[in-house]
Amino acid sequence: MVNEAQHTCSASCSSKSDGGSSSGSESSKDSSRCSTPVLDADRHERLREKMRRRQDSGDKWFSLEFFPPRTANAAVNLISRFDRMGAGGPLFIDVTWHPAGDPGSDKETSSMIIANTAVNYCGLETILHMTCCNQTKDDITGHLQKAKRLGLKNIMALRGDPAGEEWEEEVDGFNYAVDLVKHIRNEFDDYFDICVAGYPKGHPEAESYEADLRHLKEKVFAGADFIITQLFFRSETFLTFMKDCQAIGITCPIIPGIFPIQGYHSLRQLVKLSKLEVPQEIKDVIEPIKDNDAAIRNYGVELAVSMCRELLDSGMVHGLHFYTLNREVATTEVLKRLGIWKEDPRRPLPWAVSAHPKRRVEDVRPIFWASRPKSYIYRTQEWDDFPNGRWGNSSSPAFGELKDYYLFYLKSKSPREELLKMWGEELTGEESVFEVFTCYITGEPNKNGHKVTCMPWNDDPLATETNLLKEQLEKVNRRGILTINSQPNINGKPSTDPIVGWGPSGGYVFQKAYLEFFTSSEIVTALLKVLKKYELRVNYHIVNVKGQNITNAPDLQPNAVTWGIFPGREIIQPTVVDPVSFLSWKDEAFALWIEQWAKLYEEESPSRMIIQYIHDNYYLVNLVDNDFPLENCLWQVVDDTFELLN
């Protein structure tokens, strides 16, 4: 994510300036203070403002178009593609509207829900397409209200294809995209940013190219903020179109739609739908290699890169819109070759921010959900306020229940067969569970030769930061301290540190060492004796599935475990160990044993009973070493505990 907030304001008036008024003073007094230190201007801007800012700064950008998948499994895959492609820094993604697929419904494959997931769970600025043809005003208003409720802020207003052959204009109906634009502005004022489609060769049904340009101008004047074009095959096509638009007074951004050819059949189908003609020179290349997918893709990438270069070099184009066809490789390749794929390791906050407008002010989270951010967002989606930098200010927010562990955006990316290979087709005892945890930490294959790349509490391989603790983690997992979350102590590393850094540059980040694990009651008994020695240094929370809770946390106050100091700003403390939310997390953490692991096995099977036993009898423990400038003492605590047991 590119962070633009670092620039300092220029002097507000020169020391040389004359004039006796205290205007400087007054304007400052009137200014509204922001409730949260602005670390990331992006979070507070609407899409059209971001676009403007990028254009002003000369910073080229890209966006990505996806369509809703047909099956729930494909939806899971698409969401992890959003996460991966989101890492390249698209300015936005957009999700097409499939009238035949019940697009406004709550189905996991609907346009609405895919767009909702992109915004809320993947943190992506998202445009939802919407077509108006053959729909009632009430239907459309209903869809728009729902989109707004879900946190969607941008609509691509389209006519859509008429349902039958015999389409006739309806009086007062939605006959053209312009009607939808007007409707959105009438009913929702300036709430949505609106995008409309442009046709570089003219819409196939338009009377003429010129008539189509006039239609486009109508759409813009009705309230559209920017234009994305249909695909085209030559850069001149777009550049001419753009000049023609400007000539008749269209001044908003016009973004070229880029279609990297990825295969013979997909090209043919797209051409058929869009009624475009493929230039002869392209046909000449493709026909001879039509059965060689790799060759066609290479050619497509080559072609797209050179056309994009021409567009960017023209000086008229600031952003490129990619028709991905839900595929990853070709588009990513083009973007990397153009140098606009920007995997910025810098994070505005230690956790990935959500793009819902009401979460703009969110700047603190409990550490427990560090590896399950989507679950955290799901469980806090009803919150109207976020704790606003201090949990103390929040009026005891209640976490939503997490009963449906199979919500597609919370589901493991791995199917059951793979999970069984990783976590064991058959467990022989608690030790075989220890073994699974150990393999996940080491990255070594288990005894059947399978790597353990995820766990019920972590759907991804070990984070780079956790890797710093690998050796110690391996040792303790082998002995039944089953770790699910940890962070090393950090005493003032630069905020640009590639591993632990976050926030604007010029700052310093800090952490208290943290360790969270499941373990047996026998180990807990020894641990508690050891912890007496560390009473003033280590804070602990120890709880079992029944809620029996042992802690030395003072007055149930949150303990800040990650914080940052930045130039000219207040302290940011984005991660806390909060005793109250720990008891909500505890329910989820214990349930994952059953929901994700035990249920892989037959009821009453020995494997299932082993997991059930752990669920019923183990404790969930978290430890914080408050003395962050010293060497982390938590490993010593664990060593002392094992020694006491021997």
CA 459 – CA 414 distance, rounded (Å): 9
Strand-strand pairing, 538-544 and 513-519? unpaired
Q: Which amino acid, one-letter code, is at 626? A: N
DSSP one-letter string for 298-344 = HHHHHHHHHHHHHHHHTTS--EEEEE-TT--HHHHHHHHHHT-----
Residues 252/226, Cβ–Cβ less than 8 Å: yes
Beta-carbon contacts of 189 under 8 Å, excluding residues fewer than 6 positions away, are none
Shortest distance in whole angstroms from residue 153 CB to a copy of itself: 23
Chain position carrying tokens 């804070």? 539
Of the candidates 504, 503, 510, 507, the one whose C-alpha atom is nearest the C-alpha of residue 488 is 510
At its nearest, how many Å lie between a copy of itself and the CB of residue 430? Answer: 19
Pick between residue 339 and residue 568 the one whose CB is nearest to a copy of itself.
Answer: 568
The CA-CA-CA angle for residues 357, 159, 138, to 5°, reads 65
**Residue 182 in contact with residue 222, Cβ under 8 Å?**
yes
CA neighbor of 131 nearest in space, from 196, 204, 48: 196
Least Cβ distance, residue 253 to a copy of itself (angstroms): 26
State the Cα–Cα distance between residues 44 and 39, nearest whole angstrom. 10
Which CB atom, from 265 or from 529, has the smaller least distance to a copy of itself?
529
| 191 vs 383 by CB, closer to a copy of itself | 383
Q: Give the sign of the dihedral formed by CA 449, CA 454, CA 456, CA 458.
A: positive
Closer residue to a copy of itself in complex, CB, 5/463:
5
Nearer to a copy of itself, 20 or 164 (CB): 20
65 is catalytic: yes
Phi, psi of 93 (to 5 degrees): -120, 160
Q: Which is the catalytic residue, given 4, 65, 287, 474? A: 65
Query: 20 or 249: whose CB is closer to a copy of itself?
Result: 20
Residues 6+ apart with CB under 8 A from 113: 105, 106, 107
Residue 41 CB, shortest distance to a copy of itself, in Å, is 9
Using CA atoms of 438, 543, 547, 428 in order, give the dihedral in degrees to the nearest 10.
30
Min dist CB 594 to a copy of itself, Å, is 17
Q: Which is nearer to a copy of itself, 41 or 285 (CB)?
A: 41
Min dist CB 286 to a copy of itself, Å, is 52
Distance CA 459, CA 87 (A): 17
* Residue for token pair 């026909």: 287
CB of 342 to a copy of itself, least distance (A): 22
Active site residues: 65
